[in-house]
Amino acid sequence: MPPRISLAIIDSEASARESIEATLKPFSETISIVGSVDNFSAGLRIIEKGSPNVVMLEVNDIQRGMQEVQHITSNFPRTSVIVCSSEKSSDWILSLMRAGAVEYMLRPITQEELKQALQKVGRFFFSTPEKAPNGKLISVYYPTGGAGTTTVAVNLAASLASEGTKVALVDLNIYSGDISTFLDVNPTYTLSSVTSNIDRLDANFLMTVMTRHSSGPFVLTEPNEVDDAISITPDQVRRILEFLKGVFTYVVVDCGGPLAGCNMTIFESSDLILFTTALSLPALKNSKRYLTAMERKGLRKDRLKLVVNRYLPKADIQVKDAEKVLGHTVFQTIPNEYLDVVGSINKGMPVVKMSPRSPVSKAMLSLAELVK
């Protein structure tokens, strides 16, 4: 846990305040409580005087709670708000998140839950570098569905994160993303949670909305609602990607759709674009059209890397045929091991973790070495 996290408690129930204080007592060397009060006005005085890193705020009324969260985050931008409530409604959670809360905790709060929340909120309080590292952004793309971009993106991210390297996995296939399904996650916060709070984007906020998957990567999933996807702009995508590159060593983006709008922003930000295709006539015809168009739009050929998915060595169309048609050398082939891949998706775990001896896993690990 980061050193010297300061915390204020605003809760009308004395027993709840005492419980939080008792829960935090074992961590007194790393967490200091600068004040514990029973009303918002008194809490504001503590915040003004003590500038705590974190405020634990009781919310019993959604409208008042949103106003109080907004007041704190607007006037004290360096202070993060953790909401404590007995209300389980997802509408409450999303509304308070959009108001600026970084975590929502249900009463009664256990010591482990509180410890994890503070670790999450405080992860970057004291470790933001003076100069942000320039992480490598790798986008995995095919214009339409069915080429396996999500399989490649998920397993590439898990492979890159295998040695403790900080890796972000972002679903920017905003209309038909599948990363949440592939990894069996149902996060409270998604891509639209970030874009709707874009003006307060910093390392602390970002880490609270990303989900750490057990396979290693920090995941930012696709929007839950189509209307949320429609409202996402290229400028918002650019700002998110720039910030991710400043926090993570590798940023892997799953994307698809037309060569316009958010996709062009992704490609312009990418160090490598893994154009994922298959050795079939329709796929190669489509790939030829799009690769030519991408080069015409100024995307250098050396940044466009061809990945052949579902590769069968004895298929009618060979790698050399594809290279001749597309004018690109094949960067990596991923073998067609249908049962291994589908089994991993059904279990919500990348195949490189679930079946490390699978030919698919070996190819994915080789791909990870190639992009480093």
Same domain, 147 and 281: yes
Do β-strands 211-212 and 218-220 pair in parallel, antiparallel, or remain unpaired? antiparallel
What is the pLDDT averaged over residues 334-347?
95
The one-character DSSP state at 200 is G
* Res. 84 pLDDT band, cuts 50 70 90: very high
Last residue of a domain, one of 122, 153, 177: 122
* Res. 126 pLDDT band, cuts 50 70 90: very low
Same domain, 112 and 167: no
Same domain, 53 and 193: no
Residue 218's beta-bridge partner residues? Answer: 168, 212
Instruction: Please confirm whether the linkage preceding 282 is cis (ω < 30° from 0).
Output: no
Do β-strands 80-85 and 103-106 pair in parallel, antiparallel, or remain unpaired? parallel
Of the listed ranges 74-78, 235-239, 255-259, the one predicted with least confidence = 74-78
CA-atom Rg of the chain in angstroms: 23
Same domain, 280 and 357: yes
The single-letter code of the amino acid at 24 is L
CATH for 164:
3.40.50.300
Q: Give a yes or no: residue 224 inside a domain.
A: yes
Which residues form the domain of 107?
5-122
Element (H, E) at 98: helix 90-99
pLDDT digits (tens, 9 = 90+) for 32-54: 899 999 999 999 999 999 989 89
CATH for 34:
3.40.50.2300
Please count the other Cβ atoms lying within 10 Å of the Cβ belonging to residue 47.
20
pLDDT at site 131: 42
* Res. 165 pLDDT band, cuts 50 70 90: confident
Between 28 and 161, the more confident residue is: 161
Q: Give a yes or no: residue 311 inside a domain.
A: yes
pLDDT at site 164: 72
pLDDT at site 204: 67
Of the listed ranges 100-104, 243-247, 341-345, 355-359, the one predicted with least confidence = 100-104
DSSP 294-357: HHHTT--GGGEEEEEEEE-TTSSS-HHHHHHHHTS-EEEEEE--HHHHHHHHHHTS-HHHH-TT
Same domain, 105 and 228: no
Last residue of a domain, one of 122, 156, 190: 122
pLDDT at site 25: 84
Q: Give a yes or no: residue 90 inside a domain.
A: yes
Mean pLDDT over each residue of the chain, to the nearest integer: 88
- For the chain, give the percent of residues with pLDDT over 70: 94
Same domain, 65 and 212: no
Between 272 and 102, the more confident residue is: 272
Q: How many residues does the chain have?
A: 372
pLDDT at site 150: 96
Q: Give a yes or no: residue 332 inside a domain.
A: yes
Same domain, 110 and 66: yes
pLDDT digits (tens, 9 = 90+) for 293-324: 999 999 999 999 999 999 999 999 999 999 99
pLDDT digits (tens, 9 = 90+) for 277-300: 999 999 999 999 999 999 999 999
Same domain, 84 and 41: yes
- For the chain, give the percent of residues with pLDDT over 90: 62
pLDDT at site 124: 41
Answer yes or no: are the C-beta atoms of 81 and 73 closer than 8 Å: yes
Answer yes or no: are the C-beta atoms of 262 and 232 closer than 8 Å: yes
Q: Quick one: tokens of 182?
A: 């592939």
pLDDT digits (tens, 9 = 90+) for 222-253: 877 777 778 889 999 999 999 899 889 999 99
Same domain, 26 and 163: no
Q: Give a yes or no: residue 130 inside a domain.
A: no
Task: Say how far apart CA 155 and CA 73 lie, in whole Å.
Answer: 37
Task: Say how far apart CA 99 and CA 14 lie, in whole Å.
Answer: 26
Last residue of a domain, one of 122, 151, 180: 122
How deeply is 160 buried, as exposed, middle or buried, from its count of CB atoms within 10 A (0-12, 13-18, 19+)?
Answer: buried
Same domain, 96 and 171: no
pTM as predicted:
0.69
Number of domains in the chain: 2
Q: Give a yes or no: residue 128 inside a domain.
A: no
Same domain, 336 and 194: yes
- pLDDT of 203 over the 90 cut: no
Q: Give a yes or no: residue 127 inside a domain.
A: no
**Helix axis angle, 111-122 relative to 14-24, nearest 10°?**
70
- pLDDT of 349 over the 70 cut: yes
Q: Give a yes or no: residue 129 inside a domain.
A: no
Same domain, 100 and 172: no
